Structure 1
Amino acid sequence: MAVEIVRETSAPVGRVWSVLTDWPRHGAHVPLTRLTVTGPPGVGQEIDAATRLGPFAFHDVMRVDEWEPPTDGSAGHVVLTKIGRVLSGSARIEVAPHGSGARVAWAELVRPRPDLLGRAVGPIADVAARVLFGRTVDGLLREAAE
Structure 2
Amino acid sequence: MLVTVSADISAAPQRLWDLLTDWENQGEWMREASDFEVTSPHRSGVGVTVATTVRIAGIATRDRIRVDVWEPPAESAPAHLGIVHLGWGKGRGDIHLTELPNAHTHLDWTERLQPPLGLAGAAGMHLLAPLFVHTFRRDLARLRSTAEHP
Contact conserved, 2:116 with 2:122, CA < 8 A, in 1?
A: no
- 1:90 corresponds to: 92
Cα distance in 2 for partners of 1:34, 1:132 equals 18
Cα distance in 2 for partners of 1:9, 1:59 equals 30
Cα distance in 1 for partners of 2:131, 2:114 equals 11
- 2:15 corresponds to: 15
- 1:112 corresponds to: 115
Q: Which one of the candidate residues 106, 121, 126 is aligned to 2:124?
A: 121
Cα distance in 2 for partners of 1:113, 1:81 equals 15
- Aligned CA RMSD, in angstroms, stands at 2.1
What TM-score comes out, normalization by structure 1 length? Answer: 0.85
- Determine if the alignment matches structure 1 residue 38 to structure 2 residue 58: no
Q: Using the TM superposition, give the Cα deviation of residue 139 of structure 1 relative to its aligned residue in structure 2, in angstroms.
A: 1.1
Contact conserved, 2:34 with 2:54, CA < 8 A, in 1?
A: yes
What TM-score comes out, normalization by structure 2 length? Answer: 0.83
- 1:143 corresponds to: 146
Contact conserved, 1:96 with 1:103, CA < 8 A, in 2?
A: yes
Cα distance in 1 for partners of 2:96, 2:17 equals 9
Cα distance in 2 for partners of 1:130, 1:73 equals 31
Cα distance in 1 for partners of 2:127, 2:112 equals 12
Contact conserved, 1:111 with 1:125, CA < 8 A, in 2?
A: no
Cα distance in 1 for partners of 2:20, 2:130 equals 22
**What one-letter code is carried by the residue in structure 1 that aligns with 2:25?**
R
**Deviations 1:26-82 (CA, angstroms, capped at 9, x unpaired):** 212323622211232111111112146xxx842011111111111012101011111
Q: Tell me, which stretches of 5 or more residues in structure 2 are unaligned?
A: none
User: What is the count of residue pairs matched by the alignment?
Assistant: 143
Percent identity of the aligned residues? 28
Contact conserved, 2:33 with 2:52, CA < 8 A, in 1?
A: no
Cα distance in 2 for partners of 1:96, 1:43 equals 20
